[in-house]
């Protein structure tokens, strides 16, 4: 009996100490944490979060807890971290406006370990320098000089090969578009055009993506283990490409401005220092991933939406035909043509509102923070969720209705439509994605109509938006 009493007392003491640790700030004073639950020991609420994300209902994970605790901020435990989830446009504004002041970028261990040092995982001055170097090559000036004709060429070739070629009448949109987007990223960022090399890298990226946001158990058979192996193979191949390009630049058989890879190799930062080979490889890997998976999701859901809304399809077709009528046969699109696609871009934005490719992101508290009357200790993590504002009926009336007119004029209220994030860490590839999606739309809609073979197909998120069966469609050439 004595031992039972001692053990019980020790357990009570441990619980008390843990509670006091959770409720003390860095300065030692009692603090008022947000309401919420830490879930299971070690795992927290991670499994529930991942399960909701995989079902494509990540906003429900957040909304259920908002309703339960009657607040715009709640605490939880995800990926082994104490976390405050900020809800609504006020939460988005707070996190986006306080980057590198009160908060900084943070990603789960699986992302940091797989990607390594790159602009996504690096904060502070070094992160800003990386972002500047990459952003220059993703600017409108670079688009008008380097990208737009290349994107148009790849788009037309892809449609000729994978849509019209071989007498195809049925195809799966997601895997087909994934080939287009990945080839485009390889050409644009590294000038790689060899089909076998592109196909080999694309297969490795599929394994890489599956384990990027997974529980970091490095055991054979786990998604994380497989992703690490795939990443090592990708980096090995990218390393060979980087060394070959460096040699070509030295021999002047490659241009310093021909693509992003050359740019990163020949451009020093503000201190006159060059990126190391490993950091260049990591950033190229990141951009190949970000430059094709998110746009694949956007185009896939756009194709789904246009099939479901014939009236919207006709308006987009009319706008694209008007642009085509001003050009000579075979003439490529220009930057000015993209700016004329106003209704088409509204349609894309409404698609992104309902189906944002990236559901949200994370931050870390740099100092003790008071938000909404609650204290967030230094070192705690934050999560924001795009779908939470995108599907809020108070922000977007009749929120389930597909309505491109929401984006007429000035568009939605700031911090409510956030598919590309916001603040200093807004996605640097936003304009590249816009160019990629609109160029493909211009070419595909003037050549085909299509029907969904599985109306109401289930939409998953693992970790990006994907139709369960790949969105199979039946295509019909125009004017037949």
- The annotation places the binding site for heme at 427
**Range 424-463 burial, b when 16+ CB lie within 10 A, else e:** ebebbbebbbbbbbbbbbbbbbebbbbebeeeeeebebbb
Alpha-carbon dihedral sign for residues 126, 127, 128, 129:
positive
Q: How far apart are CA 110 and CA 121, in angstroms?
A: 11
**CA–CA distance, 139 with 314 (Å, rounded to integer):** 31
Question: CB of 457 within 8 A of CB of 173?
Answer: no
Contact (Cβ atoms closer than 8 angstroms) between residue 376 and residue 365: yes
Sheet containing 170-172: which strands, arranged edge to edge? Answer: 170-172, 472-477, 448-452
Q: Output the known binding site.
A: 427
Element (H, E) at 383: strand 381-385
Secondary structure of 32-49 in the HEC alphabet? CCCCECCCECCCECHHHH
Measured at the CA of 26, the angle between CA 377 and CA 216, to 5 degrees, comes to: 50
Any idea which residue has 């053990």 for tokens?
A: 7
CB–CB of 290/427 below 8 Å?
Answer: yes
């Amino acid at each position: 009996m004595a031992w039972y009493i001692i053990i019980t007392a020790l357990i009570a003491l441990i619980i008390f100490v843990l509670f006091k640790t959770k409720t003390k700030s860095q300065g030692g004073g009692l603090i008022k944490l947000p309401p919420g639950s830490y879930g299971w020991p070690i795992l927290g609420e991670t499994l529930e979060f991942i399960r909701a994300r995989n079902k494509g209902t990540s906003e429900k994970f957040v909304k259920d807890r908002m309703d339960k605790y009657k607040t715009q901020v709640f605490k939880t435990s995800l990926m082994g971290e104490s976390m405050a989830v900020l809800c609504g446009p006020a939460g988005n504004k707070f996190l986006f406006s306080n980057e590198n002041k009160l908060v900084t970028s943070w990603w789960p261990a699986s992302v940091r370990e797989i990607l390594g040092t790159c602009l996504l995982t690096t904060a502070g001055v070094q992160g800003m320098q990386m972002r500047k170097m990459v952003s220059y090559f993703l600017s409108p000036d670079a688009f008008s000089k380097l990208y737009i004709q290349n994107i148009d060429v790849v788009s037309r070739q892809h449609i000729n090969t994978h849509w019209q070629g071989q007498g195809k009448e049925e195809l799966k949109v997601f895997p087909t578009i994934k080939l287009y987007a990945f080839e485009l990223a390889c050409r644009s960022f590294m000038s790689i055009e060899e089909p076998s090399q592109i196909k080999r890298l694309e297969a490795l990226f599929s394994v890489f993506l599956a384990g990027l946001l997974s529980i970091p158990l490095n055991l054979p058979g786990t998604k994380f283990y497989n992703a690490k192996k795939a990443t090592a193979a990708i980096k090995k191949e990218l390393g060979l490409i980087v060394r070959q390009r460096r040699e070509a630049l030295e021999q002047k058989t490659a241009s310093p401005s021909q693509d992003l890879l050359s740019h990163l190799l020949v451009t020093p930062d503000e201190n006159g220092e060059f990126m190391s080979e490993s950091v260049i490889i990591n950033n190229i890997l990141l951009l190949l991933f970000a430059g094709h998976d998110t746009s694949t999701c956007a185009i896939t859901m756009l194709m789904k939406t246009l099939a479901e809304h014939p009236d919207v399809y006709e308006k987009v077709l009319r706008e694209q035909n008007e642009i085509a009528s001003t050009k000579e046969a075979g003439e490529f699109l220009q930057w000015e043509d993209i700016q004329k696609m106003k209704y088409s871009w509204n349609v894309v934005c409404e698609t992104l509102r309902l189906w944002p490719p990236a559901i949200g992101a994370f931050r870390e508290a740099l100092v003790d923070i008071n938000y909404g009357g609650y204290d967030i200790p230094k070192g705690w993590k934050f999560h924001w969720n795009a779908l939470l504002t995108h599907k809020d009926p108070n922000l977007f009336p009749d929120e389930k209705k597909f309505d491109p007119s929401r984006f007429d004029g000035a568009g939605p209220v700031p911090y409510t439509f956030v598919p590309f994030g916001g603040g200093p860490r807004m996605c640097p590839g936003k304009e590249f994605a816009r160019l990629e999606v609109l160029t493909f739309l211009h070419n595909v809609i003037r050549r085909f109509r299509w029907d969904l073979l599985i109306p109401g197909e289930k939409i998953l998120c693992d970790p990006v938006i994907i139709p369960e069966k790949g969105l199979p469609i039946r295509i019909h050439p125009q004017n037949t």
